[in-house]
Amino acid sequence: MTRPPPKLISDHLPRALVKDAFHFSGGKISNADRRGCTWPARSTNNFHLGTTYLTLPTHASKLKEEYQSMAETQIEWTDATWNPVAGCTIVTAGCTNCYAMQMALRLEAMGVPKYVGLTRKSGVRAIWNGVVREDRASLQIPYGWRKPRKIFVNSMSDLFHESVSEDFIVDVWRVMRETPHHSYQILTKRPARMADIVSRAIPDVLPNVWLGASVENAAVVSRIDDLRVVPSAIRFISFEPLIGSVGAVDLTGIHWAIVGGESGHSARPIREEWVDEIYTQCDSFKTAFFFKQWGTWGKDNKKRSKKANGREYRGRTWNEMPATLEA
């Protein structure tokens, strides 16, 4: 048994909230692991973050939910999220309703240190204030996940934000290199910086790392050209939130496309013809097509719940993945 290294806990959770914690070796928790711990074995407020097992007091249930929803994501095309960076700044129209800004404010209100001081209030909304935080302690997390996972890197930020140091990005690559049982999906709205750093500072193309760029409308299709030159085993485009036609695009060298409409109270509508345009081009470039959701606006241009609008397109669901993974 190893007693908990509090570093991991204090960097992620308010220490005052953690009643007890210990490290386990992965798999089943043994009696030796929990020797000396006071937590009730079946408390609903027990959960683990990597191989650190935590017990929170009853009033912290909400915090547990937030953490679980971040680690065990609902995002259809991945298994888990990992956030080595917190905070960002808005770059283009696709960022307007950025979910991470609102989530950062909620986590700050709950006292999670990593997310304190990253946003400012604008009416009822939170807006990034430009503070970007590298979270070195979180670099340990993937080592603790024994079961292979598809991991979305930085759902709460952009790894290639101009304030993230090159050294830190190289360290993220080291973690991905040392945990080849996982696949990592890195999505950026700054693919020019991604291309520069990956080509210059990363010596190898890792088979378990997928690199992607977000394209929300025709104004930013040049991101596809930036992505195309990045050395990568798998390159993907996320056309989400799709808020305009993207027009004719060159998908040469792009292995996978995800398409989805925006969700939430202020969501902007998606149009079926914009999806058709992408679908047809994926077909001709042999790019795998994944239709994630219609979002808050249905293909009939009516607003309803994301769940009610569903994720069927042309009468079926589209869950294609890059060819190398299907083989």
Positions touching ligand SF4 (CB under 6 A) are: 88, 90-91, 95, 98, 100, 128, 157-158, 189
CB of 166 to ligand SF4, least distance (A): 18
**Min separation Cβ 161 and ligand SF4, Å:** 7
Q: Which is nearer to ligand SF4, 21 or 95 (CB)?
A: 95
Least distance (Å) from ligand SF4 to the CB of residue 252? Answer: 25
Minimum CB–partner distance for residue 89 and ligand SF4 (Å): 6
Choose between 14 and 130: whose C-beta lies nearer to ligand SF4: 130
CB of 186 to ligand SF4, least distance (A): 12
When the beta carbons of 12 and 189 are compared against ligand SF4, the nearer one is: 189
Nearer to ligand SF4 (CB atom), residue 182 or residue 189: 189
In the complex, minimum distance from the CB of residue 163 to ligand SF4, in angstroms, rounded to a whole number: 11
Choose between 98 and 195: whose C-beta lies nearer to ligand SF4: 98
| Per-residue three-class SS string for the chain | CECCCHHHHHHHCCHHHCCEEEECCCCCCCHHHHCCCCCCCCCCCEEEECCEEEECCHHHHHHHHHHHHHHCCCCCCCCEEECCEEECCCCCHHHCCCHHHHHHHHHHHCCCHHHCCCEEEECCEEEECCCCEECHHHHHHHHHCCCCCEEEECCCECCCCCCCCHHHHHHHHHHHHHCCCCEEEEEECCHHHHHHHHHHHCCCCCCCEEEEEECCCHHHCHHHHHHHCCCCCEEEEEECCCCCCCCCCCCCCCCEEEEECCCCCCCCCCCHHHHHHHHHHHHHHCCEEEEEECCCECCCCCECCHHHHCCCECCECCECCCHHHHC
Nearer to ligand SF4, 90 or 325 (CB): 90
